[in-house]
Chains A and B, each alone.
Chain A
Amino acid sequence: MDNQPWKKSPSPWKYGRSALLAVVIIAAYIYSFRVTELDLPRLVTDFPKAVPILQDFLTPDVLARGEQTESYVINYPVPCGSGQEAEIPDSGPRIVPSVPCSDPKTTITVEGFDLRPDTKVQLRWLLPDGRRLRSARATTDGNGHFNVEVEIRPIVAAKEGNISQLEAELQWESTGLMPSEALKITFAKIVETVFMALMATTFACLVAFPVGFLGARNIMGTGPVGTVVYYIARTIFNLMRSIEALVMAVMFAIWLGFGPFAGVMAMTVVTVASLSKLFSEAIESIDPGPMEAIVAAGGNRLQAIVYAVFPQVIPPFIAFAIYHWDINVRISTIIGFVGGGGIGLQLQTWINQLAYNKAGTAVWAIVIVVTILDNLSSQIRKRLV
């Protein structure tokens, strides 16, 4: 029983080799521990530094108190006689100038009655040409009354028969909560991102669909031309797949400028690489029987592909496409950082402004959208495959 290898005693050389291998592995780990500057205790000791950011991220800026306004407008001819004077009612909320009209470079008093109590008032001139000119500020007292001096500047004079109007706008915070500005921006940007991913995936499908066939062994056959095309296609897939989305995004951002277009193009290239490979593998795993039957009955190869291969591969193609749409939404958050547009660009802007609450809003939006898409795509895939 000499030929049973497990009974042979190992040679000393083999022991030595194992020991050497162990030393090399340990050295590699020691070295990598040092180059990566690992300092695990700092994860705990420096944790307080992370607390503010984490707090901001966990309290995203989603809601704000809404502003409510109420405004009263009266005609005010300058100089007198240049237009219709305002008719001031005797009761109810109203603003009353000390004189119904005046000349430029004078000062009048404007009073308000029965307005909202304890509220800020902004007085404004609405000029004949549509511009607005800020004037005095005031605050109403407990009875809803204010009294403020207003300077009549030459600019408010009537032009070509059109007179200026005086507006008093009351501003106060409403009790109800409104979506914050950051939330609105985030919403717009996340929509942009989802559609960027959709466009990139669509473009990629248009390219990957025909290209996938070129990289499928069973379609290209065993002839010399087919074999060459097959290997070229496969090599291109693998080369393209080795380039990261981020690198692509930098390239396209330089080429096309910062923005969604560059992002879409970068994602398209990355998705083509990945989808082509998946597509060609799906094509290779079809049941060859129907194709055989069609060719045996005198159909040509192209007919067999359209009639027997397409129906078999389209459901998995759609499943892969939806899956990649979902992946692209995720990628586009990263791509945005290097100029690819979408929510990523906005996220980067807010992080640079140290507006971590707002950044938190964006991060949460990404989490929610990716989760929804993930579920949606897996539902659709389940139905297709």
Chain B
Amino acid sequence: MTRIQEPTSRNPVFELKDAGWRTGDLQILAGINLCIWPGERVALVGASGAGKTTLINLLNGSLLPSEGEVRVLGQNMARLSPSARRRVQRRIGTVYQQFHLVDSLRVVHNVNAGHLGHWSLLKAAFSLVWPLEVETAAHALAQVGIPEKLYERTDRLSGGQQQRVALARVLVQNPEAILADEPISNLDPERSREIINLLYRLNRQTGKTLVISLHTIEYAFSHCQRIIGLRQGRILFDAPASEVSPEMVAALYRIQPSGAEDDRAA
């Protein structure tokens, strides 16, 4: 029924051709070319304001490119009707730095929000009163290690637990790729390692593509196969983790007077 092709190892999950995004006069991203293949673990690194979040938003369809082309699961996002775009978006899950959970709801409802791409409005509204598909939610929570929090109010949980709830929401959504936008920036080191390990395990066990933006680079080396370095809205390098040198990393964070065009990698 669906016109979208199932991804194989031949077809990239994400494919960007000369993609860019601007708001007003401000060019946030420019000339992005990249392919991300099924099952890959990719780290997006770069300083604040390098465009990591914007790139994630292009990948999950929250933003449409102002130039170039973004293909998600083979579909050109800018060319799709809103409902067709939503059908693609259902297959891409995102976790956020700020978790993006409804604090005043019980955990089960926040986990169930992962169903909204498939549920009707009526079913969604009904589920807020009487939670539906509780087993699925419980199973997802067990996968992220907090099965006992099913009926807890979300704002009573710690930051690490809230990020686990957000992960459970993505699991319920059951996407083909998981995007993580600085998922550990609000967590302490111990909680950060747990969340990163969880994402890593999910990728290994289910084969879901993982794109994770990181403020700090250590986990990029230890947990990802490939590192994409962003600087001032452009790709500085895109290489296997083993080939990224300390000099390349240093170049990412070096403070440079404006107009450093030669900083750009091909």
Contact B116 A298 (CB under 8 A): yes
Report the minimal beta-carbon distance from B255 to chain A, rounded to whole angstroms.
31
The answer, yes or no, to whether A22 is at the interface (CB within 8 Å) is: no
Residues of chain A within 8 A of B173, CB atoms compared: 297
Name the CB-closest residue of A to B106: A311
The answer, yes or no, to whether B125 is at the interface (CB within 8 Å) is: yes
Interface residue ranges of B108-146 to A (CB < 8 Å): 109-110, 113-114, 116-117, 119, 121, 124-125, 128
Interface residue ranges of A272-330 to B (CB < 8 Å): 287, 289-290, 292-300, 302-304, 306-308, 310-312, 315
Contact B90 A298 (CB under 8 A): yes
CA of A322 to CA of B16, assembled, Å: 53
Q: Report which residue of B60, B87, B166, B170 has the largest number of chain A beta carbons within 10 angstroms of its beta carbon.
A: B60
Contact A303 B121 (CB under 8 A): yes
Contact A307 B113 (CB under 8 A): yes
Name the CB-closest residue of A to B120: A303
Contact A290 B60 (CB under 8 A): no
Residues of chain B within 8 A of A310, CB atoms compared: 128
CA of A315 to CA of B153, assembled, Å: 14
Residues of chain B within 8 A of A294, CB atoms compared: 113, 116
How extensive is the interface on chain A, given as a class?
20 to 34
Q: Report which residue of B61, B93, B124 has the largest number of chain A beta carbons within 10 angstroms of its beta carbon.
A: B124
The answer, yes or no, to whether B152 is at the interface (CB within 8 Å) is: no
Among A295, A299, A300, A308, which residue has its beta carbon within 8 angstroms of that of B102? A308
The answer, yes or no, to whether B213 is at the interface (CB within 8 Å) is: no
Residues of chain A within 8 A of B125, CB atoms compared: 306-307
Given contacts A289-B98, A311-B128, contact A299 B105 (CB under 8 A): no
CA of A295 to CA of B62, assembled, Å: 8
The answer, yes or no, to whether B99 is at the interface (CB within 8 Å) is: yes
CA of A300 to CA of B60, assembled, Å: 14
Residues of chain B within 8 A of A296, CB atoms compared: 57, 60-62, 89, 92, 94
Report the minimal beta-carbon distance from A6 to chain B, rounded to whole angstroms.
35
Residues of chain A within 8 A of B102, CB atoms compared: 290, 307-308, 311-312
Report the minimal beta-carbon distance from B111 to chain A, rounded to whole angstroms.
12
The answer, yes or no, to whether B104 is at the interface (CB within 8 Å) is: yes
Residues of chain A within 8 A of B94, CB atoms compared: 293, 296-297
The answer, yes or no, to whether B103 is at the interface (CB within 8 Å) is: yes
CA of A164 to CA of B173, assembled, Å: 88
The answer, yes or no, to whether B22 is at the interface (CB within 8 Å) is: no
Residues of chain A within 8 A of B117, CB atoms compared: 297-299
Residues of chain A within 8 A of B87, CB atoms compared: 298
CA of A295 to CA of B61, assembled, Å: 9
Contact B93 A306 (CB under 8 A): no
CA of A303 to CA of B86, assembled, Å: 12
The answer, yes or no, to whether B96 is at the interface (CB within 8 Å) is: yes
Contact A293 B121 (CB under 8 A): no
Report the minimal beta-carbon distance from A303 to chain B, rounded to whole angstroms.
5
The answer, yes or no, to whether B100 is at the interface (CB within 8 Å) is: yes
The answer, yes or no, to whether B101 is at the interface (CB within 8 Å) is: yes
Contact B104 A297 (CB under 8 A): no
Among B93, B105, B110, which residue has its beta carbon within 8 angstroms of that of A297? B93
Given contacts A303-B121, A303-B124, A312-B104, contact A289 B99 (CB under 8 A): yes
CA of A287 to CA of B100, assembled, Å: 8
Contact A306 B89 (CB under 8 A): no
Interface residue ranges of A152-166 to B (CB < 8 Å): none
Residues of chain A within 8 A of B101, CB atoms compared: 289-290, 293
Contact A292 B100 (CB under 8 A): yes
CA of A292 to CA of B97, assembled, Å: 13
Contact B103 A287 (CB under 8 A): yes
Residues of chain B within 8 A of A308, CB atoms compared: 102, 113
Residues of chain B within 8 A of A298, CB atoms compared: 86-91, 116-117
Among A289, A299, A300, which residue has its beta carbon within 8 angstroms of that of B100? A289
Contact A303 B119 (CB under 8 A): yes
Given contacts A290-B113, A296-B60, contact A315 B121 (CB under 8 A): no
Report the minimal beta-carbon distance from A222 to chain B, rounded to whole angstroms.
12
CA of A299 to CA of B100, assembled, Å: 14
Among A300, A302, A307, which residue has its beta carbon within 8 angstroms of that of B128? A307
Contact A302 B121 (CB under 8 A): yes
CA of A312 to CA of B109, assembled, Å: 13
Contact B116 A303 (CB under 8 A): yes
CA of A297 to CA of B110, assembled, Å: 13
Interface residue ranges of B148-176 to A (CB < 8 Å): 166, 169-170, 173, 175
Residues of chain A within 8 A of B62, CB atoms compared: 292, 295-296
CA of A298 to CA of B96, assembled, Å: 16
Given contacts A298-B86, A310-B128, A311-B128, contact A293 B104 (CB under 8 A): no
Interface residue ranges of B227-263 to A (CB < 8 Å): none
Q: Report which residue of A289, A292, A307, A308 has the largest number of chain B beta carbons within 10 angstroms of its beta carbon.
A: A307
Report the minimal beta-carbon distance from A287 to chain B, rounded to whole angstroms.
7
CA of A289 to CA of B105, assembled, Å: 14
Interface string of A339-355 (1 = CB under 8 A from B): 00000000000000000
Residues of chain A within 8 A of B99, CB atoms compared: 289
Report the minimal beta-carbon distance from A385 to chain B, rounded to whole angstroms.
10
Residues of chain A within 8 A of B175, CB atoms compared: 297
CA of A304 to CA of B86, assembled, Å: 13
CA of A307 to CA of B106, assembled, Å: 12
CA of A289 to CA of B103, assembled, Å: 11
Given contacts A296-B62, A297-B89, contact A307 B124 (CB under 8 A): yes
6 intermolecular pairs with C-beta atoms under 8 Å apart: A290-B100, A292-B96, A297-B173, A303-B124, A306-B125, A307-B109
Which B residues fall within an 8 A CB radius of A?
57, 60-62, 86-94, 96, 98-105, 109-110, 113-114, 116-117, 119, 121, 124-125, 128, 166, 169-170, 173, 175
> 6 tightest CB-CB pairs across the interface, nearest first?
A298-B117, A298-B90, A299-B116, A289-B100, A298-B89, A293-B100
